[in-house]
Each structure stands twice: as structure tokens, then as C-alpha cells.
Structure 1
Amino acid sequence: MSKSRTILATCGGWSPAQWGDVEFSPLQRYALDLTGVTGRRPRVAFVNTAAGDQRVDEGRELAAAQQLGVDAVHIRLFGRNQPDLREAVLASDLVWVAGGSVANLLAVWRVHGLPEVLAEAADQGTVLAGTSAGAICWHVGGPTTTFGPVAVIDDALGFVDRSVGVHYDSQPDRRPALQRAIADGTLPNGFGLDEGAAVLYVDGEPVEMLTESRDGAVWGVERDGDGVAETRCETRLLT
């Protein structure tokens, strides 16, 4: 029997650590909580495709996981390290997708058949989450700087039938790009995520807006005639 699909789309993650490079941020710890794992160490798969699977990131991520009592692996597609992707993904309680180029991420994932595996995992209860490109990928699409100037991706995975704009408050070209794409019908209604903000979806529906930054907002963006209406959503602060 399929379980509810749980997706956490964020513009946050990784906090500076007192005794190391990084530690899990409040949003990442919340993603772990969503797995509901008790009585054993939760299992996390880090997917850094969007940034080219940089090895320099892997050691500090594994160290942060170890410090928190989490078993972690990397699913690397540039120099593939998991002979059986399906086995690696389905063994994970949480998949966390890092930022970078969402267009490159989607192209590489599709070559390796990863979208189908992720869909199967979500139906079996694995929590899908990520930041920036790792948030856009679950939606229909959103603005990206993959190609240099801000452009709109409209062929992402579509696990959530909405759009998303990340870095909404820190990269000024992204906000009008999302608004234009929704106004002209290129993208469906969606959300803008300030730095530190997130949307939780269950079975494709938004159920909670969150932030790990006091200044981080979630904005609902909906088509309204020939334009858009933008509304600041109520958010819960994670600490």
C-alpha cells in the first residue's frame, strides 16, 4: 500500500558548526523528524548532482550526520558510486538534494532513471527534501540561473503540481521571473521562498510553511487576471 508522499522544499540547510565545518540546520533536523524513525539511526541519502557531485562537500556532510547519530550515504552520478540506485534510494528514510544547476540535475537524473526511483521511494514513505535546485526539482518548475541570466524551467519532475521561486529575497531577478511565468501561464500557481524558508507538502498539497530565519518568508503567488496576486503566508519558526 502506498504511503503519503512527503516533500519538504526549502531555501535553507547546513548551519555553521561550533566544532566542525557544518551541522544540520533546523530545517534539515525537521526533515529528519518527518521520517518518523524511532529505535534505530535514521538513514539519509545526500544527492549533490546539481553541483557536480563535488567530493569536497562529502566529508563534512558525513561528519555532520555522524555527529547527529544519522547513517548517511551519497548518491553520486558524476563518477557513479551506487551500482544499484533503486536499492540505495529505497534504503533511505530521507533524500536531501543540494543546490546548484537544476537543469543539469534533471538531465543527469533522467539519463540514470532516478526520477522513477524517487517516485517509488516517496510512495513507500521516504521523505524527499532539498534546497534551491533541490527544491525546484520536485515542482513543475521555477526560475533558475543555470544558464546565466535568470530563466524559467518548466519541465521539472512535477511531483508537486505547483511552481516555486527560491532565493526570493536575495536574488532580485527571480521574483519578477516567477511572477511573469505564472501570469502568462508558463507555470502554475506556486510559492516564493526567502532565504531560510520552506514549504511542506503531503500528497502534493501544501500543509505547512516554515522558516529557520526570523526574516525568511513564504509567499503565495497566484495568477490574477493578467497579473499575479502575492500573499505573505503564515510561517512557523524552527529553532
Structure 2
Amino acid sequence: MRRSFALALERYGYRVQAAADGLAGLESFRAEPFDVLVLDVMLPGLDGIGLCRRVRETSLVPVLMMSARGDGLDVVAGLEAGADDYVVKPVETYVLVARIRSLLRRATYPPAPAGATAPAPGPGPAAPDVLAFGDLAIDTAGMEVTLAGDPVALTPTELKLLLEFAAHPGVVLERHTLLRDVWDYGWDGDSRVVDLCVQRLRRKLGKDRIETVRGFGYKLRR
């Protein structure tokens, strides 16, 4: 499977570095920069979930997790470890490529329009490219987030999700809308990716920043 996916991705124009186990993958990751990591959950030596945790200690590189069909525990564990998305095996090459392309688009997400700028607290107006919500500031030009003046490290998916909330403050966004606009799903995807990414944002920004509206979705508090 590893060899067939590597060959298929190379035919799509990607340069692929494959590793047979988690420890070899970690060594390759530390040796050179990567644009996307595709991790199988069931890796010998160091499994994909453990590898994802080790990667997240030092890097925000997009991570796509591969899991056996129907193994929901692996999916949840992978997303909690910091993966941005997942696919289930067996997976068609075109689906894998679509998810990789989506991750790459998120990694180069464009700035939000100036019209989405929110006013800053205090006497002065917000900078044109800064969305401010209390002590949370989002620099949409520099793609940087600060909380009470301290930088917050977000993965590309976490950042795009936050920008989506910030463009609609106080508005409830349904899970399927977020799957479409953030994860680029053109079909009904697994809402767990939304729920767990929201959980990661809450851990980094404060648990009360994003409100759950039961039966509907989530909204960013004004």
C-alpha cells in the first residue's frame, strides 16, 4: 500500500518520501521540511498517533491521518493528537489527492477581506488587517494570532477555522457549513473533525471563546 500510494502521488507531481515505520518517519521529518504528512495509524515501532504527537511538539505542518474503516476510536485519537483531517482505508487515490490538495490550500490560506475587520477595544480603531475580539487579535495579512499580546501557534486548519468564525462573529455556523468552507468537503463529511478542531481551538484560546449552540453548530462570542 505504501509503495502504491507513493507511485500514485508521484504521478500527480508530488515528491514523496516514504517510511516503513513510525520511527523512520520521525527521523525523515526531522531531517528535512515537508509540506504535508500522511500518517497511517497502524505503523510499527511508533504508531501514527504517537508520531503525530511528536510532530506537533515542534511543527504545525498539515497532517492527514489514514485509519481502518469504521475504527472511530483511531479517528478521534488521531484528530486529538493534532491531525487536520483523515481518510479511511481502503481509499481511492483521487480521494487521497483531494484531501492533500485541500490541506495545501489551507496552508496558504489568503487574508480575509478588509470588510470583515472588527473594531478593536479601547480608544483607537483596529489596524486594517487585524480582527480584534477582546484580548484575541487576528492579523489576517501576517496570518498571526495573539492572545493578550502573546502569540498563539495554530495549525493551518485551526487558523482557517478561526478565520471563518471571525468573519461571522456572533453567527451560528453549522457543522456541514464548516466542513464545506474550511475542509473543502463537497459531500457530507464526518462532523467529528469539526468538533475536535473546535476543542483544540478552545484549549489554545480559552474554553468560552467559541460557544456551542446545541443542535445547530458553533459561534464565536462577540
User: Normalized against structure 2, the TM-score is what?
Assistant: 0.35
| Greater relative contact order (Cα < 8 A, sep 6+) | 1
Structure with max Cα Rg: 2
User: Normalized against structure 1, the TM-score is what?
Assistant: 0.33
